[in-house]
Amino acid sequence: MTTSQGPLSDLVVIEMGSLIAGPFAGQILGDFGAEVIKLEDPRVGDPMRQWGRSLPQGHSPWWPVIGRNKKSVGLDLRKPEGQAIARRLIAGADVVIENFRPGAMEKWGLSYETLSADNPRLVMARVSGFGQTGPYAERAGYGLIGEAMGGLRYVTGEPDRPPARAGISIGDSLAAMHAVMGITMALHERTRTGRGQVIDAALYESVLAVMENLVTEYDITGYVRERSGAILPGIAPSNAYPCAGGELILIGGNGDTVYARLTEAMGRPDLKTDPKFVDHASRGVNQQELDAIVAAWTSTFALPDLLALLESRGVPASRVFRAPDMLEDPQFAAREAIVTTEHPVFGPIRMQNAFPKLSRTPGSVRWPGPALGQHTGEVLAARAGVSAARLAELRKAGIV
């Protein structure tokens, strides 16, 4: 197991909780060098170990990614002995991440007030569906509920169909990213005051935070944003257009200068001066007609030829990437956006790299998600003073 020289290599993070929102926050911190100690149920571990469309060789393809760069400690937090060990580990940590339903940590004697009494510098990120306060705080809340309440689900999909999902657990991921933002802000503030604090990251507010002007537009004009499929109403041409052979190309030609370059590529300079399309506002009003003109043109080209033409004219365009396209694309390769790491069962596996890129202290993928309890003995001996004999007793009792 390699060590890290990442920008967070002096931090110790205790990750508690399961599934995506809390563990993705831990993944991000681990990618940039933090020592992330994941506390898991010693019997079954994080459910992500068994999630996925399939389980090749009995292992989930999810877990190598979301568990990467972490140390796994099996610990039963529902038993007093497990709670006592957790308190000892947290007393020497910088950050705790938890995504249990509000009240669970308090029930286990692991409230922030209790933990910070032993460790005033402790930063705790609490990720939940609705936050730690308010009338909904104790409700169960998965990512899809946060997406619905935060407004994302209503505006996603085709206008004549029920709301669609993004295809990934975007609500959970947004909550994790906002939690990490809060953690880094709190750590920065701690350098001045020496004191930690709590980050309260609600899933629905994490979604709400990226909903642009949705609320304000309604407040000022009374307009409720609706589902619009592949377009944004009033932004044209910006859509998915057909190519010969049934493939699709995405073109973003809505800015005035880009639109002018697109008309030149199309051999239609008349579209640049046509009153219906002469500026951003008029193109928005006549969006459907303009999209039809562009689609008739793109359908005469094979996708590679059209991509080459538009690139030569400085018009933003792209194929719709799938995983195979990403693994073959030279841009992904040049920037090492996807890296290979060694898995004990699968062998070499590929996954997305740490991001964002830092020039001096970049993140890295040092190892994939570990086996359940792989680091229990190592971590408890080094950070909780548990002797080999005591560890054997704890194992026998099912505490670890």
pLDDT recorded at residue 144: 94
pLDDT recorded at residue 52: 87
Residue 295, SS3 per DSSP: helix
Residue 265 burial (CB count, 10 A): 20
Q: Average pLDDT in the 339-346 region?
A: 97
Q: What is the C-alpha separation between 202 and 179, in angstroms, rounded?
A: 9
Which residues touch 311 (CB under 8 Å, ≥6 apart)?
317
Judge whether residue 108 has pLDDT over 90.
yes
Catalytic residue status for 172: yes
Q: pTM of the entire structure? A: 0.95
Could you read off the pLDDT of 254-288 as tens digits, one per residue? 999 999 999 999 999 999 999 999 999 999 999 99
Q: Which of 31, 76, 94, 172 is catalytic?
A: 172
Q: Average pLDDT in the 334-344 region?
A: 98
Judge whether residue 5 has pLDDT over 90.
no
- Cα dihedral value 58, 64, 65, 71, nearest 10: 130
Judge whether residue 4 has pLDDT over 70.
no
Half-sphere exposure of 346 (CA within 13 A, CB side): 22
Q: What is the C-alpha separation between 261 and 269, in angstroms, rounded?
A: 9
Residues of the chain above pLDDT 90, percent: 97
Residue 144, SS3 per DSSP: helix
Outline where the chain has alpha helix (H): 21-31, 63-66, 80-91, 104-107, 112-118, 143-149, 170-193, 203-208, 214-221, 256-266, 270-273, 280-285, 287-298, 303-312, 323-328, 330-334, 376-384, 388-396
Q: What is the C-alpha separation between 72 and 372, in angstroms, rounded?
A: 6
Judge whether residue 293 has pLDDT over 90.
yes
**AA letter at 213:** N
Mean predicted lDDT score pLDDT of the chain: 97
Please state the separation of Cα 192 from the chain's center in Å.
Answer: 30
Judge whether residue 1 has pLDDT over 80.
no
pLDDT band of 68, cuts 50, 70, 90: very high
Q: What is the C-alpha separation between 25 and 19, in angstroms, rounded?
A: 11
pLDDT recorded at residue 2: 52
Q: Average pLDDT in the 173-180 region?
A: 98
Q: Average pLDDT in the 89-117 region?
A: 97
Judge whether residue 355 has pLDDT over 60.
yes
pLDDT recorded at residue 291: 98
pLDDT recorded at residue 164: 96
Judge whether residue 3 has pLDDT over 70.
no
Residue pair 26/103 in contact by the 8 Å Cβ criterion: no
